[in-house]
Chains A and B, each alone.
Chain A
Amino acid sequence: MEQLTILLIVIPLMVAPITALIPSEKITWFLTLAVCLISFAISSFILYQVIDGTHVIYELGGWRPPWGIEYKIDSLNAFVALIVSGIGILASLFAYRSVPSEIDNKTIPLFYAAFQLCLLGLLGIALTGDIFNLFVFLEISSLSSYALISMGKHRKALSAAFSYLILGTIGATFFLIGVGFLFAASGSLNTADIANRFSSFEDMQLVETALIFMIMGIALKAAIFPLHSWLPNAYVHAPSTVGIFLSATATKVSIYVLLRILYDLYPIAYWVEMLLPQIMLSMGCVAVIYGSYRACQQVEMKRLLAFSSIAQIGYMVIGFSLVSQLGLTASIIHLFNHALIKSTLFIGAGILLYRANTTELSSLRGLGKEMPWTFAAIALAGLSLIGVPGTVGFVTKWYLLEAAVEKGMWIVVITIVVGSVLAIGYVWKIVDNLYFKSKEKLHIHDVSSGDSTIARSPKTMTIALWIGAILCIFFGLNTELSFQAASSAAAALLKA
């Protein structure tokens, strides 16, 4: 049982170098899918084991913590690992037909190897209980994602990847400085060990500086409002598969790191006194309004979705800055819900790109009538993004509103309502352009840039899209599963 946890890291680590050597797109794709499926199976098994509040401890190399690296898996770790590997499955299903159409034949094995390394890094972040090890995994996932983004078709992908590289490295280095200060104050790198001995540290100034550096660094990686500038370009110009995977996982995992730092590493009372919740709450609120507003202005579907991601990250920030069981639960559940919604929408955008060769909304007018099933799935995911009852988006917003009302934060309530109204605006923009703007069906070969040889949406893409869309509804109606995992994770964080 314990050995299973490390397998989540070992399997991608061993398969990625083999993948890089095999010069066949089919085999490398299959290996990637297999890695994602196995990781998904293992993480769901672990989540099933730890959902009742117990945890699994794994000592790397047989060294006892705090000297060795320790992996301590509670329900939050397992939940995040489940999200990452689950989205990995959807993305690799989608990749089967999308990657050969977007990426040079010779680099496909390297693409899949980098994809697996990215998965490895994100899973590693989700599992490790050692802050320096976390930095290393953060850099593994980031470096591979820079490489993945730069493989985009258009040359803008290169400049997007470069600015992401600069900003991402600054973020990671800030985090590293923070770890250094904390190490200077505590002499330890183990999360649990630092948390246990927190009251005995002599130099509280170092500890405070460490917290600020770490939060700044991770906030950059998570694209929390004023530090979001790298996100839209990176997601828009990346290959579709990468856009799906990163939009649904990378920022979520960074939010998870933020949760760990604030709720596990530091005592809650310590940073609540520092006005941090108020600051983050206001940043979250601004992010919701700003992201939704900018999304409404966009005329290109992927960019619209990217700005909506900034808004959705704002909801997560609001959730955990409320410092209550309900708010935290809402935040964690939104990690899951948003990963599901955004990956579905990006898969939809990817299918449109694959068939029509463009995602400019004005050139897609009437395409919804030609592709009714794809359109229906996009519309379902769009409804979830707004938060219509019966979809996953509603679940989050309901808990978030409840948490805000419980705390008496009316400004938050207003923000969420305004954010939802704006969400109606930008989702309508997609639906309107795809279906209602044009009276006639738009045939694929009529799109100026469209390729008439591509007749139907590939089955793997449609399957991935509909899995996402159905899960959006399933977890919206059947909240038991995700709610139980999220609330047990929240309780573990609050040590309630």
Chain B
Amino acid sequence: MENDLILRVVTKWLSPIIILFALYVQFHGDYSPGGGFQAGVIFSSAILLYSLTYGLDAALKLIPESALRLGASLGVLIYGGVGVTSMILGGNFLDYSVLASTPIAGQHIGIIVIELGVGLTVASVMVLLFFTFSRRVTP
């Protein structure tokens, strides 16, 4: 597929839009349907599309595997970190209400940071799965 002009051009135009949409789903997750899981999968689909048309090596130049491993771990740490922060601030684990001066603001901050962690992990793991498989299967 690497020589198909139409695919290459469309992919170039489409990938940023997909990423933008992913970010929209990510940061509107607290008001409307969406959130980290969906955003992460949409985000990873942009990278997948890129690597399908331009080849695995180009995609690896874009995001090296070590960065993906770091991202996957970091997302879990952000998630757990929010929980631990709320414990330090005197609430229960994952009790967002104590994160800010009013409970409602706290819930907002909490869910956005949590979803950020979730999105980061999901996106990294999805891309990592794809990279691992495609490298293993192609000779």
Q: Do chains A and B touch in the complex (CB under 8 A)?
A: yes
A interface vs B, CB < 8 Å? Answer: 2-3, 6, 9-10, 13-14, 16-18, 20-21, 58-62
Would you list which residues of chain B between 58 and 94 have a CB under 8 Å from chain A?
A: 69-70, 72-74, 76-77, 80-81, 83-84, 87, 91-94
Partner of B77, one of A2, A3, A6, A18: A18
Partner of B93, one of A6, A16, A17, A21: A6
A62–B80 Cα distance when bound, in Å, is: 16
Given contact pairs A6-B87, A10-B84, A21-B70, A61 touches B77 in the complex (Cβ within 8 A):
no
Given contact pairs A17-B77, A18-B77, A21-B73, A3 touches B87 in the complex (Cβ within 8 A):
yes
Taking CB atoms, residues of chain A closer than 8 Å to B81 are 14
A58–B93 Cα distance when bound, in Å, is: 9
Contact A60 B76 (CB under 8 A): no
Question: Smallest CB-CB separation from B91: which chain A residue?
Answer: A62
Taking CB atoms, residues of chain B closer than 8 Å to A61 are 92-96
Given contact pairs A60-B92, A62-B97, A17 touches B87 in the complex (Cβ within 8 A):
no
Known A59-B92, A60-B92; further 19 A-B contacts with Cβ < 8 A: A3-B92, A6-B93, A9-B93, A10-B87, A14-B80, A14-B81, A16-B76, A17-B72, A17-B77, A18-B73, A20-B69, A20-B73, A21-B69, A58-B93, A61-B92, A61-B94, A61-B95, A62-B91, A62-B97
Contact B92 A17 (CB under 8 A): no
Taking CB atoms, residues of chain A closer than 8 Å to B74 are 17
Mask of B103-128 contacts with A, CB within 8 angstroms, 1/0: 00000000000000000000000000
Q: Which 10 A-B pairs have the closest CB atoms?
A: A62-B95, A17-B73, A61-B94, A6-B93, A17-B76, A14-B80, A62-B92, A13-B80, A61-B95, A21-B73
Partner of A10, one of B70, B73, B91, B93: B93
Taking CB atoms, residues of chain A closer than 8 Å to B93 are 3, 6, 9-10, 58, 60-61
CB distance from B108 to the nearest CB of A (A): 15
A9–B72 Cα distance when bound, in Å, is: 19
Count, chain B residues at interface, CB 8 A: 19
Question: Smallest CB-CB separation from B80: which chain A residue?
Answer: A14
Question: Smallest CB-CB separation from B81: which chain A residue?
Answer: A14
Which of B70, B83, B92, B96 has the most CB atoms of chain A within a 10 A radius of its CB?
A: B92
Q: What are 15 residue pairs bridging A and B, where the CB atoms are less than 8 Å apart in the complex? A: A3-B87, A6-B87, A6-B92, A10-B84, A16-B76, A17-B72, A17-B76, A17-B77, A21-B69, A60-B92, A61-B92, A61-B93, A61-B96, A62-B91, A62-B94
Taking CB atoms, residues of chain B closer than 8 Å to A6 are 87, 92-93
Taking CB atoms, residues of chain A closer than 8 Å to B92 are 2-3, 6, 58-62
Question: Smallest CB-CB separation from A19: which chain B residue?
Answer: B73
CB distance from B120 to the nearest CB of A (A): 11
A10–B87 Cα distance when bound, in Å, is: 11
Question: Smallest CB-CB separation from B70: which chain A residue?
Answer: A21
A21–B124 Cα distance when bound, in Å, is: 14
Taking CB atoms, residues of chain A closer than 8 Å to B76 are 13-14, 16-17
CB distance from A123 to the nearest CB of B (A): 14
Question: Smallest CB-CB separation from B92: which chain A residue?
Answer: A62
Question: Smallest CB-CB separation from A14: which chain B residue?
Answer: B80
A58–B92 Cα distance when bound, in Å, is: 8
Taking CB atoms, residues of chain A closer than 8 Å to B83 are 10
A6–B83 Cα distance when bound, in Å, is: 10
Taking CB atoms, residues of chain B closer than 8 Å to A17 are 72-74, 76-77
A10–B94 Cα distance when bound, in Å, is: 11
A6–B84 Cα distance when bound, in Å, is: 10
A60–B84 Cα distance when bound, in Å, is: 12
Contact A14 B94 (CB under 8 A): no
A492–B70 Cα distance when bound, in Å, is: 45
A21–B68 Cα distance when bound, in Å, is: 11
Taking CB atoms, residues of chain A closer than 8 Å to B87 are 3, 6, 10
Taking CB atoms, residues of chain B closer than 8 Å to A9 are 93
Contact B94 A60 (CB under 8 A): yes
Question: Smallest CB-CB separation from A3: which chain B residue?
Answer: B87
Taking CB atoms, residues of chain A closer than 8 Å to B72 are 17
A281–B76 Cα distance when bound, in Å, is: 43
Taking CB atoms, residues of chain B closer than 8 Å to A10 are 80, 83-84, 87, 93
